[in-house]
Chain A
Amino acid sequence: QVLLQESGPRLVKPSETLSLTCTVSGVPITASFWSWIRQPPGKGLEWIGYIFQTGSPHYNPSLKSRVTMSLDTSKGQFSLNLDSVNAADTAVYYCTRTVGIRYSDLWGRGTLVTVSS
């Protein structure tokens, strides 16, 4: 069974960096694409970016200047850093397994990150 689990601070101060990690179990992390998707409270979904082993990460153009994603194959984890956060970055952040460019078939449970002083 493939499982994804998000972890990281639930509260981040404005202007600081949001950092999350997704731990993947049940499948080699080298075998797939992996994405981050977020959902502000009461709002819709927004794709943040994807990463895979053999290529460069790809980011949402609206977030590209603030986003960095990385892959740690030895730990079976991938990570998200979002710089200079503000209240609009408050959201539930999901990590997902992405099948190429087509769809996300597996999702973590999501973690709510609040940006507040």
Chain B
Amino acid sequence: QSALSQPRSVSGSPGQSVTISCTGTSSDVGHYNFVSWYQQHPATAPKLLIYDVTQRPSGVPDRFSGSKSGNTASLTISGLQAEDEADYYCCSYAGTYTFWLFGGGTKLTVL
């Protein structure tokens, strides 16, 4: 199976909102509510931001929210801050054979 599809880059100004999409198929994103999102700053390990499509781990600000419609999941970051500038990856469970698929990553630039 192919990787999930994400835009290569998005940008926004401080205080604005941005949404990053993650498009899969009816075999992964569209079939399971096991979509997660990870934030990665340069030279650091990814950090879990969202799990099970909409859930935030403790410690993650509520500026970060997740949703899903059909085969596309989305991560919305509201009230952009400079420290949000990072790469963002989506991931979806894709069944017992493939297990996990990642998106190619989206670079967020805070202008």
Show the binding face of A for B, using Cβ within 8 Å: 44-47, 50, 58, 60-61, 94, 99, 101-105, 107-110
B69 at the interface (CB under 8 A from A): no
Show the binding face of B for A, using Cβ within 8 Å: 3, 34, 36, 38, 44-48, 51-52, 57, 89, 91, 93, 96-105
Specify which chain A residues have a CB less than 8 angstroms from the CB of B93 in the assembled complex: 101-102
Contact check, A45 vs B46: say whether CB atoms are below 8 A apart.
yes
Specify which chain B residues have a CB less than 8 angstroms from the CB of A107 in the assembled complex: 45-47
Assuming the contacts A101-B93, A103-B48, A107-B46, asked whether A44 and B3 have C-beta atoms less than 8 A apart, the reply is yes
Contact of B48 among A50, A58, A104 (CB under 8 A): A104
Contact check, A103 vs B45: say whether CB atoms are below 8 A apart.
no
Q: Count A-B pairs with CB separation below 8 Å.
A: 55
B97's closest neighbor in chain A, by CB?
A61
Contact check, A44 vs B34: say whether CB atoms are below 8 A apart.
no
Minimum CB–CB distance for A38 against chain B, Å:
11
Specify which chain A residues have a CB less than 8 angstroms from the CB of B47 in the assembled complex: 107
A108's closest neighbor in chain B, by CB?
B45
Specify which chain A residues have a CB less than 8 angstroms from the CB of B34 in the assembled complex: 101-103
Specify which chain B residues have a CB less than 8 angstroms from the CB of A108 in the assembled complex: 45
Contact of A103 among B3, B36, B104 (CB under 8 A): B36
Contact check, B102 vs A102: say whether CB atoms are below 8 A apart.
no
Listed A/B pairs (19) with beta-carbon separation below 8 Å: A44-B3, A44-B104, A45-B38, A45-B46, A46-B102, A47-B99, A47-B101, A50-B99, A60-B98, A60-B99, A61-B98, A101-B99, A102-B93, A105-B48, A105-B51, A107-B46, A107-B47, A109-B44, A110-B45
Minimum CB–CB distance for B29 against chain A, Å:
14
